[in-house]
Chain A
């Protein structure tokens, strides 16, 4: 069964550095998402992406964040200048084009900012 994959599984970076988190959604899916979960807190929506553009974003998704689908298969989340509070588990998800299609989640990338 096809799955969403994410790399790396764990990323450690220093404050102020740029990081790129990578996701490969399921191949025929049309909607893509990033969520994050700070340790001990709920899973929070960051951004949705459809038809090669951001369709919706949360207040968390400020100018430090960007998303890209550079080659039709990968879906990346970039954090330009990481802060300590960006430390979290980041989940990618994708869903098919059906109006009520299910979201399929990746295993997550644990980002640690020191």
Chain B
């Protein structure tokens, strides 16, 4: 079975401070990991995915297979980063139709 754990339900930081949203996963196959973001009253949207290895809005995430983690980081948080963040996993294998397994989500609040 696949499982995604986000241990922090709430995370508060001040503007300009570094932020790290934790995500751990459990999956025996070959996973694809994603971070989705949901701003207030907006839809879920993809923030980044591990296979892209790119930085979006200053955020990065590295897949650590040894620690089964995919933590989301940003060196200097901005007020507009305040949102709900979801870590999600997808089976990268051939028989998958692409369902996503989500973590509980972390509400990030960046204070001025």
Identify the A interface with B (CB < 8 A): 3-4, 31, 33, 35, 41-45, 48, 50, 55-56, 58, 91, 95, 100-103, 105-108
Contacts and interface: CB of A to CB of B under 8 A. Distances in A.
A100 B51 contact: yes
Contact of B43 (A33, A41, A58, A106): A106
Contact of A43 (B46, B86, B92): B86
Contact of A31 (B45, B98, B104): B98
A89 to B, nearest CB: 10
Contacts of B49: 102
Contact of B44 (A50, A58, A91, A100): A91
B51 A105 contact: no
The 6 tightest CB contacts between A and B, nearest first, are A55-B97, A105-B44, A43-B102, A48-B97, A45-B99, A107-B43
Contacts of A55: 97
Interface of B: 32, 36, 42-46, 49, 51, 86, 92, 97-105
Nearest to B41: A107
Q: Which of B36, B42, B45, B100 has the most CB of A within 10 A?
A: B100
A30 B44 CA distance: 19
Contacts of B97: 31, 48, 50, 55-56
A45 B100 contact: yes
Given A42-B104, A42-B105, A105 B99 contact: no
Contact of B98 (A35, A41, A95): A95
